[in-house]
Amino acid sequence: MLAAEDYLSGQVLLIDKPLHWTSFQVVNKLRYEIKKNFNIKNIKVGHAGTLDPLATGLLVLCTGKMTKQIDSFQGQIKEYTGTLVLGSTTPSYDLETEISETFSTEHISEDLIHKTTKQFTGEIDQIPPVFSALKQDGKRLYQFARAGEQVEIKSRKITIQEFEITKINGHQVDFRIVCSKGTYIRSLAHDFGKALKSGAHLSALRRTKIGDFNVVNAISVESFITNLTSY
């Protein structure tokens, strides 16, 4: 049982982010519930690494004085599992936007899929998706995208430690990736499709680890609220 002082002095909370929620919605919801339950006027709550609304999984939240540790958590190695779909692309590289182009996949074999992962291990250059919250010239990239404006996005160095194909079912390819901070799995799916001389987009994504934190130890937003108000 945690008291108000515990949250103010600092806690690390492991939350399993639900589908369609933004990371900021989770932060705001938990901050609101903590303030309401303990009648606290204000408390710092932040997250250590954004997840897209269409992604689920581990979100590390820090409260009170532990928010000073957010940068150190953000820099840790992350693990994801997910599914990409071969043969079609979307402007956002995932299902946030509709399919815009389709490509032939007749030349793609399971062996080629496995071999192509080797192109994406180690240190690689990656261009973040235009549908992202990164800032350029004082604006979020997605603001340019939604306005139909062209913007040149610079590539950056990322590291993929592991890229494992776990299942292939027709056009659907399941994977597990261990990567550095700043990696966009949507961009990886898009680039993977291009490397196969076809196209691909991300259809599902789940973050399973951040450093030593594991999603198996995380709880849902609803469970956190229930535990908070049951004392």
Q: Do residue 65 and residue 83 come from a single domain? A: no
Q: Do residue 39 and residue 90 come from a single domain? A: no
Q: Do residue 134 and residue 203 come from a single domain? A: yes
Q: Do residue 64 and residue 93 come from a single domain? A: no
Is-catalytic flag, 16?
no
The string of DSSP codes covering the chain is ---HHHHHH--EEEEEEPTT--HHHHHHHHHHHHHHHHT-S---EEESS---TTEEEEEEEEEGGGGGGHHHHHTS-EEEEEEEEETEE-TTSSTTS---EE---TT--HHHHHHHGGGGSEEEEEPPPSSSS-EETTEEHHHHHHTT-------EEEEEEEEEEEEEETTEEEEEEEE-TT--HHHHHHHHHHHTTS-EEEEEEEEEEETTEEGGG-B-HHHHHHHHH--
Total Cβ atoms within 10 A of residue 166: 11
Where in the sequence is the domain holding 131, given as residue range(s)? 78-210
CATH number for 22? 3.30.70
Q: Do residue 91 and residue 149 come from a single domain? A: yes
Predicted local distance difference test score (pLDDT) of residue 136: 66
CATH number for 149? 3.30.2350.10
Q: Do residue 201 and residue 126 come from a single domain? A: yes
Q: Do residue 98 and residue 122 come from a single domain? A: yes
Write out the chain's pLDDT in tens, 231 residues: 789 999 999 999 999 999 999 999 999 999 999 999 999 999 999 999 999 999 999 999 999 999 999 999 999 999 999 999 999 999 999 999 999 999 999 999 999 999 999 999 999 999 888 766 666 666 666 676 666 767 777 889 999 999 999 999 999 999 999 999 999 999 999 999 999 999 999 999 999 999 999 999 999 999 999 999 865
Q: Which of 16, 52, 94, 191 is catalytic?
A: 52
122, 162, 24, 135 alpha-carbon torsion, rounded to 10°: 20
Q: Do residue 101 and residue 204 come from a single domain? A: yes
Predicted local distance difference test score (pLDDT) of residue 145: 61
Q: Do residue 46 and residue 92 come from a single domain? A: no
Q: Do residue 25 and residue 132 come from a single domain? A: no
Predicted local distance difference test score (pLDDT) of residue 128: 85
C-alpha distance from residue 9 to each of 13, 36, 44, 208 (Å):
13, 17, 10, 27
Q: How many domains does one find in the chain?
A: 2
Q: Do residue 91 and residue 180 come from a single domain? A: yes
Q: Do residue 65 and residue 103 come from a single domain? A: no
